[in-house]
Amino acid sequence: MIDKNKILKVAANADLGKEYVVVDVETKPINNFIVFIDSINGITIGDCVKVSRFIEKNINRDEEDYDLSVSSTGIDKPLTSKIQFIKNIGKTVEVLFNDKKSIIGKLNAYNKNSITLTYTAKEKTAETKKNVLVTKALEIELNKIKSVTIVISFK
């Protein structure tokens, strides 16, 4: 059986002429693999074809047969790589914490240890004791995050 890590290593070495990242390799039963790739400027069908051909050239089907699909990451997939976070700065995301709590806000910044969000919260004013909406910034350490996904808006 072909190892998922072997597919991942080979896929990461394809030359697309631009910086890209292998986001994930999903495995299905009986050597069926789906490779997800992404880049700052997006992924084209041609990019997927190049990666697919590169994998097929470097992993011999005569030794062991396998099914392979290469795709750009879907909007429903969690952000996992530096490229994905940088590409999505300015977009609304949902952060799911390790403790199962979540927050929705605008992704403002990314560094290797954390992300920064702005979000809207209700707070009571000192004078009137009425709820008002305030915008807050929050820096979140990546090790406290279970997942970050894009919030799809149909407005």
pLDDT at 144 over 90: yes
Do residues 138 and 105 make contact, with C-beta atoms less than 8 angstroms apart?
A: yes
pLDDT at 70 over 90: yes
SS3 82: helix
Q: Which of 46-55, 87-96, 128-137, 143-152 has the lowest mean pLDDT?
A: 128-137
Instruction: Give the whole-number percent of the chain exceeding pLDDT 70.
Output: 100
Predicted confidence at residue 19, as pLDDT, reads 85
pLDDT at 2 over 90: no
Do residues 54 and 10 make contact, with C-beta atoms less than 8 angstroms apart?
A: yes
Predicted confidence at residue 30, as pLDDT, reads 85
Instruction: Give the whole-number percent of the chain exceeding pLDDT 90.
Output: 73
**Rg of the chain in Å (alpha carbons):** 20
- Mean pLDDT, range 97-106, rounded to an integer: 96
Predicted confidence at residue 154, as pLDDT, reads 84
- Mean pLDDT, range 29-51, rounded to an integer: 93
pLDDT at 55 over 90: yes
Structural domains of the chain sorted by starting position, each given as residue range(s) with its CATH number in brackets: 4-72 (3.30.300), 82-150 (2.30.30.100)
Do residues 30 and 47 make contact, with C-beta atoms less than 8 angstroms apart?
A: no
- As beta bridge partners, residue 121 has 134
Going by their DSSP bridges, the two strands 131-141 and 114-124 should be labelled as antiparallel
Q: What is the mean pLDDT of the chain?
A: 92
- Mean pLDDT, range 82-110, rounded to an integer: 96
Predicted confidence at residue 149, as pLDDT, reads 97
pLDDT at 43 over 90: yes
pLDDT at 25 over 80: yes
pLDDT at 1 over 80: no
